[in-house]
Amino acid sequence: MLYRVGKKISLAANKPEFKWEFYLINDKSKNAFCLPGGKVFVYTGLMQIISNDDELATVLGHEAAHALLRHGAERSSMDSVRSGAGLVLAIIMQAAAPKYANIANNAFNISSNALVMLPYSRSHELEADKYGVELMIKAGYDPRYALSFWQKMSANKSSGNDFFSTHPSDEKRIKQIKEILAQ
């Protein structure tokens, strides 16, 4: 199933320079991830809630979208900028107020993560959801199953505020999928 759906998604992605490969990891986690260049990994725990090829296409389309949109490279660039800014702050604080340098460094790390990095990551997830649905459609899958997949994911965990999360809430994802389907 993983190979069959992965092949169709990779053809829809139309990036022959990517070396698309699909791997199943024997782990209870309900998760998947993609490395740059098209190496997609899906956990067996996630496969337990997937009912059909269309729902798997939701996951593989989403993960392929991360690679196609170069989210890993963007995150790395953002992290480099954040690290550079933190270094400049540390140098300034060490020279101007060494007694408060540690406090300033901790405050910078917490605030830049919560106010810049995490929202940036959540926006990547929503962008990958949207582009992933487009890949599903190009590959011949029914995009309505993206909605059923995210409803299952939501039912399998407690919902909460996504402020400190790398991923948007399932409610936001479901809302966006409904908007896409309405179009």
The residues carrying an active-site annotation are: 63
Which residue, chain included where needed, has tokens 């400190």?
Answer: 164
CA pair distance 163, 171, nearest whole angstrom: 13
Half-sphere exposure of 126 (CA within 13 A, CB side): 19
Report how far residue 89's alpha carbon sits from residue 107's, in angstroms, rounded to the nearest whole number.
11
